[in-house]
Amino acid sequence: MSNQLLPIFLNLNNQHCLVIGGGQIAYQKINQLLESNAKITVVSKKCNTEILNLFNNNQLLLVSDVYKVKYIKNMKLIIGATSSQKVNQQIFKDSNQLNIPVNIVDQPELCSFYFGAVHSEGNLKFSVSTNGKSPILAKRIRDLFVKSIPPNTDEIIEKFGEIRKNIQTKLSTYFERKQFFEKLANIHFHSNKAKVTILGAGPGDPELISIKGFNALMNAEIILYDSLVSKVLVEKINLNAEKINVGKRAGKHNFSQDTINKLIVSQFNKNKNVVRLKGGDPFIFGRGGEECEYLSKNNIKFEIIPGISSGIGIPSQLGIPLTHRNYTKGVIFLTGHEIDNSMNWEAISKSNMTLVIYMGYNNINSIIDYLIKNGKSSKTSIGLIQKGTTKDQKIIIGRIGTINNKLKKEKLRTPVLIIIGEVVNIYSQIKNSLNYYSMIQNYDHENSYY
């Protein structure tokens, strides 16, 4: 049966209310009434010391007597908390005859109203009813709600109250005011719960995500992930979140950047905690910048959690130092996708810095041509790494002038990272001491999103 009770919040300020009984339960009810600033008459021959201690409060009057009908006249509310069933029944009957709301504690059949499980915090007060069936469950449910109250709710209520006073003259109709406050409530409560986190997943090994990133994943309600992200991170960390593959390799779906941007915003507007999970670091060839610009234009606050970019993490776990005092004074990160003359190949070739090239595997021949034509020695070392930091990692090392012969014999699968520079040789020197698979062997990458 549905709950037909009418939930109302009664203003009992300085109104006369009656409590019959002087034990612990009566004491609890007196305290609840005191919070409403009611004027309380307590009728009981005997009262416990806690009740007696309340009598220096001038909201309270003690009548040391047994219950009589004359005491309930002109009362706004009656609470019966005696140990006598006969007296309780009489109170219920008399109150009903006089049409005064009555509650005989713990006897739902002798109540014309119930107390709910109340939460009170500043201006906010709410009460949970189980239709008089289970006060204990009502309290549990109340506690669940309490956990979801944003910390500054009372401040917001206070602010709304002030605005409401001033707005009456400016917005004349009830509907205009309603619409205005609904918009305002959206802004305030979104900023408290809805969230966008742009998160870097790291280069492939799921354990290379940061602790901050891991926590963000755990708390996400929806995860929008790219194809170059470990399956473990997407599927095993947070079992409750909704997950959408928005990556280029997402099969039949084709998510343009614009669609992804709009999806983030629409999920945020649904008051969701959105995690945008990207391979490596979001800001290294990851379009993180475009997403942040779009969010900012839409007045959405977001957090960025960096990830280890493949161009840093992959050489590092192989013992290839991108900088080294004996070989190079710096490093250049480059895209190998859509390369052309607009890139300053002369400066790149002559820079003598380590080159880390993303998305360049399919253009490797053109890249090498550009470099050699612009003065890079054909003897310069090169390393190509397939699916770095996963158990499908594969490394091919050579010289840029002759690497093509090796690549004809041995095909790699993307993603592939290319490193060019003398530091690559260090890998050949130290590889027998490397134990790099130990950190990833526990994960099954067979079905990762590569």
Ligand X SMILES: C[S@@+](CC[C@H](N)C(=O)[O-])C[C@H]1O[C@@H](n2cnc3c(N)ncnc32)[C@H](O)[C@@H]1O
Residue 80 or 203 having the CB closest to ligand X: 203
Active site residue 226: yes
Q: Which of 305, 385, 395, 420 binds ligand X (CB under 6 A)?
A: 385
Beta-bridge mates of residue 419: 356, 383
Q: Which of 19, 91, 314, 322 binds ligand X (CB under 6 A)?
A: 314
Does 388 bind ligand X (CB under 6 A)? Our answer is yes
Residue 51 or 232 having the CB closest to ligand X: 232
Q: What is the amino acid identity at position 167?
A: I
- What is the 3-state composition of the chain as percent helix, strand, coil, each rounded to the nearest 5? 40, 20, 40
Region binding ligand X by CB under 6 A among candidate stretches 52-60, 189-197, 207-215, 273-281: 273-281
**Could you tell me the maximum CA-CA distance found in the chain, to the nearest angstrom?**
110
Residue 53 or 414 having the CB closest to ligand X: 414
Token pair for residue 132? 């008089």
Residue 80 or 388 having the CB closest to ligand X: 388
Residue 80 or 306 having the CB closest to ligand X: 306
Beta-bridge mates of residue 331: 354
Least distance to ligand X from the beta carbon of 239, Å?
A: 25
Does 285 bind ligand X (CB under 6 A)? Our answer is yes
Compute the distance between CA of residue 166 and CA of residue 422 in angstroms, rounded to an integer: 71
Does 358 bind ligand X (CB under 6 A)? Our answer is yes
Q: Which of 206, 315, 415, 421 binds ligand X (CB under 6 A)?
A: 415
Query: Mapping DSSP to helix (H, G, I), strand (E, B) and coil, where does residue 287 land?
Result: coil
Report the b/e string of 187-211 with b at 16+ CB within 10 A: ebebeeebbbbbbbbbbbbbebbbe
Site mask, ligand X, residues 162-181, x = CB under 6 A? --------------------
Token pair for residue 241? 């979140």
- Annotated active-site residue in 29, 195, 205, 226: 226
Does 213 bind ligand X (CB under 6 A)? Our answer is no
Which residue's C-beta sits nearest to ligand X? 280
Residue 367 or 417 having the CB closest to ligand X: 417
Token pair for residue 121? 């915090």
- Annotated active-site residue in 46, 248, 329, 379: 248
Token pair for residue 387? 């699916």
Does 416 bind ligand X (CB under 6 A)? Our answer is yes
Q: Which of 295, 359, 364, 371 binds ligand X (CB under 6 A)?
A: 359
Does 29 bind ligand X (CB under 6 A)? Our answer is no
Q: What is the amino acid identity at position 287?
A: R
| Residue 129 contacts residue 7 (beta carbons within 8 Å) | yes
Cβ neighbours for 436, distance < 8 A, ≥ 6 positions apart:
317, 318, 389, 393
Does 420 bind ligand X (CB under 6 A)? Our answer is no
Active site residue 106: no
Token pair for residue 425? 């040789």
Least distance to ligand X from the beta carbon of 282, Å?
A: 7
Does 306 bind ligand X (CB under 6 A)? Our answer is no
Q: Which of 116, 203, 206, 421 binds ligand X (CB under 6 A)?
A: 203
Residue 280 or 421 having the CB closest to ligand X: 280
Cβ neighbours for 107, distance < 8 A, ≥ 6 positions apart:
88
Whether the bond between 321 and the residue before it is cis, its omega within 30 degrees of 0, is: no
Compute the distance between CA of residue 352 and CA of residue 321 in angstroms, rounded to an integer: 15
Q: How many CB atoms lie within 10 A of CB 52?
A: 14
Q: Which residues are catalytic?
A: 226, 248
Residues contributing to the site for ligand X (CB under 6 A)? 203-204, 228, 278-281, 284-286, 309-311, 314, 358-359, 385, 387-389, 414-417
